Amino acid sequence: MAKDVKPTRKNLMEIEDRIELSERGHGTLEKKRDGLIMEFMDILDKAQDVRGDLADDYEQAQKKINMARAMEGDVAVRGAAAALQEHPEITTESKNIMGVVVPQIESSRVSKSLDERGYGIMGTSARIDEAAEAYEDLLESIILAAEVETAMKKMLREIETTKRRVNALEFKLLPELYESQEYIEQKLEEQEREETFRLKKIKEKKEAEEKEERRKAEEEAEIAEAEAAQDDLEDVQPDTAAQSPAANQ
């Protein structure tokens, strides 16, 4: 990926911005993951208690129903069950835990009094009442277990999703961005060194040309002075020659 990026300062600034954003996102996701794990552990503890209560309630309900069947007969038990007029009602709402929407189940008309169960008090025995009460407790446990188990599964899925995002940032995206940043910085440093070297060469060449121009100018000046001196000498010699005959007379 690094070599696919054009080494320019604009790209370097963009990558630095992406690194800053990714690092902030990585930190936020890590905090979210840790918070989700803590919430999940609390729900897990609750789920273990609920599972234990559910198993106990189921075992107790089975004992009660078996006792009622043994004492009253299967027909009487089925008749009492069929006499139920008001069925339990369940409503679901939602709550937010660290950004995860989990269900909140509310139940009503689960536990009933003797006169709300629909069968005649005189036509049944305490064994059937105990069995009915045990199954009402079991239903309450099932509803609570459904809420807790669903919340736990959703939390677990969100934890796995958050872990994958954290790992993608930590082990893939950020290393690639760091590599691209290092690659561009190295290329820019090389370009700066090359530019510095080129400017140095240009300066040396210019200084050499200026020196050569000065040398030529000095040579031309010396030649001009020599020519001027020669002309002055030639002007002086004819005057001297003209004065010599007069001196002899």
**pLDDT tens per residue, range 157-209:** 999 999 999 999 999 999 999 999 999 999 999 999 998 999 999 998 998 88
Residue 189 CB coordination number (10 Å): 11
Looking at residue 2, what is its pLDDT?
61
Cβ-in-10-Å burial (0-12, 13-18, 19+) of 225 comes to exposed
Domain residue ranges of the chain, discontinuous segments joined by +: 9-177
Cβ-in-10-Å burial (0-12, 13-18, 19+) of 122 comes to exposed
Work out whether the CA dihedral 12, 16, 18, 23 comes out positive or negative.
positive
Q: In 56-187, at which residue ranges do the beta strands (DSSP E only) sit?
A: 89-97, 100-108
Looking at residue 217, what is its pLDDT?
86
CA distance 147 to 117: 26
CA distance 26 to 73: 65
Q: How confident is the model at residue 40 (pLDDT cuts 50, 70, 90)?
A: very high
CA distance 57 to 192: 78
Q: What is the mean pLDDT of residues 73-79?
A: 82
Work out whether the CA dihedral 215, 217, 220, 221 comes out positive or negative.
negative
Q: Would you say 174 and 22 are in contact if contact means Cβ atoms under 8 Å apart? A: yes
Q: How confident is the model at residue 14 (pLDDT cuts 50, 70, 90)?
A: very high
Return mean pLDDT, the chain. 85
Query: What distances in angstroms separate CA 25 from CA 16, 239, 240, one per listed residue?
Result: 14, 102, 104
Q: Does the structure show a pLDDT above 80 at 243? A: no
pLDDT above 90 as % of the chain = 45
DSSP letter for 93, please. E
Cβ-in-10-Å burial (0-12, 13-18, 19+) of 97 comes to middle
Looking at residue 103, what is its pLDDT?
87
Range with the poorest average pLDDT among 47-56, 95-104, 150-159: 95-104
Structure tokens at 41: 């552990």
Identify any residues that bridge with 94 across adjacent strands, giving them in sequence order.
103
Q: How confident is the model at residue 135 (pLDDT cuts 50, 70, 90)?
A: confident
Looking at residue 63, what is its pLDDT?
93
Per CATH, domain 9-177 is 3.40.50.12780: no
Q: Would you say 62 and 121 are in contact if contact means Cβ atoms under 8 Å apart? A: no
The closest of 226, 180, 134 to 12, measured between CA atoms, is 180
The closest of 77, 87, 86 to 125, measured between CA atoms, is 77
